[in-house]
């Protein structure tokens, strides 16, 4: 028996919004420690890794490890039927071929349930090595989304250059060149507005804008985003999900031809 309950459907809606542009379907691996999802996008350029800890749920029970392959388009249709403040419960029997998603209004006067067929997905699981990153940047998630959106107008690629002075995002194309520099913030009143750079050595990497823009669909989940970079390895873009877990996106760099 698997059962996981969250106080607000809005969190699940935001999580789905953060992955459904990259993935058509994905396997949710459930165990007593929580729910994990790892999947590459169709073109195998990026990888999404979602962790939801069992202690972040209002109720969590998972008697046996369970892998639930879900069509994310179908899940989006179901979640559209929930009000943001509804409780949401996911339930499945062991070895089931369906999952039940139930919404309850705060006053318990409306209860709806949706049974969704599960899929057998033959997904490769990749081992992600521990990396000592050269640069780790923490910045407001909205600012990162704005920069990715703005620079995508100028080029398919963005160059991220991080030094101890700050982080520079550049794009160059037919129109010309765009550069956006962010300095590390001195003192800020609000932690969520800070730009913090931890640098071991400077790094310059090139990434495809369309993937960065897809990652920023996670912006409603978190006030801050963390970018971890190291020469010649994938960028890690991480959004914390308060009290529940995190979503990490790995993006393979572009290299000189």
Partner 1 sequence: SSKQTSISSFFKKE
Judged by the rule CB under 8 A, the positions of this chain that interact with partner 1 are 40, 44-47, 124-129, 157, 206, 208, 233-234, 250-257
Q: Which is nearer to partner 1, 185 or 204 (CB)?
A: 204
Q: Which is nearer to partner 1, 168 or 254 (CB)?
A: 254
Give, as one character, the DSSP assignment of residue 253: P
Distance, C-alpha 22 to centroid of its chain: 10
Least Å distance between CB 227 and partner 1?
Answer: 16
Q: Which is nearer to partner 1, 84 or 131 (CB)?
A: 131
Q: Which is nearer to partner 1, 89 or 157 (CB)?
A: 157
d(CA 114, CA 71): 14
d(CA 171, CA 1): 50
Q: Which is nearer to partner 1, 110 or 125 (CB)?
A: 125
Least Å distance between CB 254 and partner 1?
Answer: 4
What is the secondary structure of 12-51 as a DSSP string?
HHHHHHHHTTT-SEEEEEEETTEEEEEEE-TTSSEEEEEE
Least Å distance between CB 111 and partner 1?
Answer: 40
Least Å distance between CB 155 and partner 1?
Answer: 11
Q: Phi-psi region for residue 61, left (φ > 0), alpha (ψ -120 to 50) or beta?
A: beta
d(CA 228, CA 134): 8
Least Å distance between CB 221 and partner 1?
Answer: 22
Least Å distance between CB 129 and partner 1?
Answer: 7
Please say whether the beta carbons of 3 and 57 come within 8 A: no
Q: Which is nearer to partner 1, 6 or 23 (CB)?
A: 23
What HEC string does 149-194 produce?
A: HHHCCCCCEEEEEECCCEEEEEEECCCCEEEEEEECCCCCCCHHHC
């Amino acid at each position: 028996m698997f059962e996981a309950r969250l106080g607000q459907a809005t969190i699940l809606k935001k999580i789905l919004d953060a992955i459904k542009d990259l993935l058509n379907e994905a396997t949710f691996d459930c165990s007593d420690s929580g729910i994990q999802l790892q999947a590459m996008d169709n073109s195998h350029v990026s990888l999404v890794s979602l962790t939801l800890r069992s202690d972040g749920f209002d109720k969590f029970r998972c008697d046996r490890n369970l892998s639930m392959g879900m069509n994310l388009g179908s899940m989006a249709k179901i979640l559209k039927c929930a009000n943001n403040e509804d409780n949401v419960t996911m339930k499945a029997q062991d070895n089931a071929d369906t999952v039940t998603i139930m919404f309850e209004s705060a006053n318990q006067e409306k209860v709806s349930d949706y049974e969704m067929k599960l899929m057998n997905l033959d997904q490769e699981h990749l081992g992600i090595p521990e990396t000592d990153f050269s640069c780790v940047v923490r910045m407001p998630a909205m600012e990162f989304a704005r920069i990715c959106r703005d620079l995508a107008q100028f080029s398919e690629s963005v160059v991220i250059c991080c030094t101890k002075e700050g982080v520079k995002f550049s794009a160059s194309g037919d129109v010309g060149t765009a550069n956006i520099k962010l300095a590390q913030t001195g003192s800020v009143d609000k932690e969520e507005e800070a730009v913090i750079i931890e640098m071991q050595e400077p790094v310059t990497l090139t990434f495809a804008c369309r993937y960065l823009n897809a990652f920023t669909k996670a912006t409603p989940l978190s006030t801050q985003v963390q970018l971890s970079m190291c020469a010649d390895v994938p960028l890690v873009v991480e959004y914390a999900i308060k009290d529940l877990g995190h979503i990490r996106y790995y993006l393979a760099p572009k290299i000189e031809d």
